[in-house]
Structure 1
Amino acid sequence: MKIIIQLAIFIAFLTNVVAGDLDKHKAVIYPEPLAHNDKIATFVYKPDYIYKYMGTYEYQSHIKLEQGEKASTIAMGNSSGWEIVHNGNRIFLRPLNKYAKTNMTLITNKRMYQFLLDAKNVDSMDDPAVFFETRFVYPDDISSGFKVLNIQADTEIDFSDPSKYNFNYSYNGPEKIAPVKIFDDGQFTYFEFPERNAEIPAIFYVDSDGYEGLVNYRVQGNYIVVERLSDVFTLRHGTDTICVFNDLTAKEK
C-alpha cells in the first residue's frame, strides 16, 4: 500500500511538471541577478528545494558551485534538449531545441541539486533573461564565517571632524536587512544596523571581476567595522541580498 501511495504522489508530481505548475511551487528558487552586474545571478542553496534554470537559445552559460566541488552524476529527464559539459566546479549548459523543458539532478562530491530546466528565445544578449554565470551561495558557510564577534570596542567613532569621512554610499535591496548608516574613513568601512536586527547580515567585498571575497571586521560601538574599502559590498542574510555602492569611487572612475 505504501508503494502505491508513493507512486500516486509521484505521478501527480509529474503531472504538475508537464502542466507547468511547478514553476509556481513554493519550493522552487529562482536566480537573483547581482545589482552591479545583471549578467551574473545567484542561487541561495537550500536542501530539498528545486532551482529554476532558464537558458536562452544561441547562448551558453554556466552554473558555478562551491570551490572544490565536482560533479559526479548528472541525470536528466530528456537530455536531447541540452548540451552539458562539466569542468571542476562549473557546469556549462546550452539549450539545443524545443525539448529544453525537463528536469535535472546533479550529484557532486558534497551535495545533491534538483533543477527545473527550460529555455527561451531572446533578441540579443542584452536581454535581462541572459545570464553568463549563475553562482550558488551557501548559507551554512556564510553563517559559520560571519557571526558577529562578541567583542565590543570601548572607543566610539569621533565625528568632531565630519570631513574625514565619506558618507557617499547607496544600496539596492530589501530594507529589512539594510544598514541605517554607511561611511568610510579612507581605510575602513563602517556599517550601522538598526537595533531590531537580531542577526547581522554577512558582508562580502566585490572585486573588479564581480567575485565576492571574505572580509575581516570588528565591532566598535554601534558599528560593524570592515577593515578595508571596496567599490561594492554584498550583504546577505538567508535569501535576502543587498548591494552597497561607494558612490564616491564610482564617480572617480
Structure 2
Amino acid sequence: MRLEIPHSASQDSRVRFVNYQPFNITRIVGSLRSSVQVEFAADEEIAHVALGNSVAWEVAPAGNILFLKPREKQPVTNISVVTTRRDGSTRSYQMELTARDGTVEVGQNTYFYLKFRYPADEANARRQQAAARARAAQAEEADDVLALHEAYGPRNWRYSAQGGSQSLEPQSVYDNGKITTFAFVGNQEMPAIYIENPDGSESLVSKSVDGNLVMVHAISSKFILRRGKDVLCVFNEAYSRVGINPDTNTTSPSVERVVRSDPAEQ
C-alpha cells in the first residue's frame, strides 16, 4: 500500500480528485467547523463503515456519498469503507484522516469535496461505446445494402387486380422473391393487406411502410386488400412457391445473417 494525496481542482484547491486503487490509502484533511463530502462511483452504495476514532470524527453515509466532519483535533486516524456495486461485487476503500484547525479559504490545506475516479472503468466504458458504435455502423451498412437490393434487384412485375373497388387499386405491385411492394399514390388511403391461405382463409402479413410504399414481408399467389366494405384481389401471375433464395438468410445475396451465441453461455 502507499499513501495517495488527492490532486486539487484547478480553480479551487478544496475540491480534490483521486484515482481509485484498491490497495492504496487516500489522505483526507478535514478542518474543524467544516465538513468533507466523499463521492464514490455512481453504481456503488455504501454497505459498511468502520471509523478509527469516533470521538474525533463524525461520519454519515448516504448512498454513494460519505460525509465526514472533524469534531476535535486529535492524532491521525483512519476510516474503512466497503461499497456494493449493482453487479453484486464490492469495493474497499482505506482513508487516512487528519484534522486541522484554522481558516478554510482557497489555498489552505483543507478538503470540502473529494471524488474518486476510476480510469479502468472509464476505459472499459469507452471500449463498449466504441464497439456499440461499430455494431450500429455495421447494421446501418447492412440495411443500406438490403435497401439497395430491394430498390435495384430483379423484380417480378406480373400482377393483376380483380374486384369492384378501384379506390383500393395500387399504382403498381412488384416483388423480389422475398418482399412484395405495393405502391400507392400520395393521397391514397392505404388498405389492410391479407394473404390467402391454402384453405381459403385470410391472414394479415407483416409489413413496413416507407412513404407511399407498403412492403409486405411475403410473397403469395393472391393478396386481398380491404378497407371497410371495399375489397380488391391482387394476383401474382408469376408466383413461385420457391421464390428467390440467396442462401444468406436475408433478402440480399450481399448480406448474410449469422447467428452468434452469447460468449457468456459458452
With normalisation by structure 2, the TM-score equals: 0.44
Bigger radius of gyration among the two = 2
TM-score of the two chains, using structure 1 as the length reference: 0.46
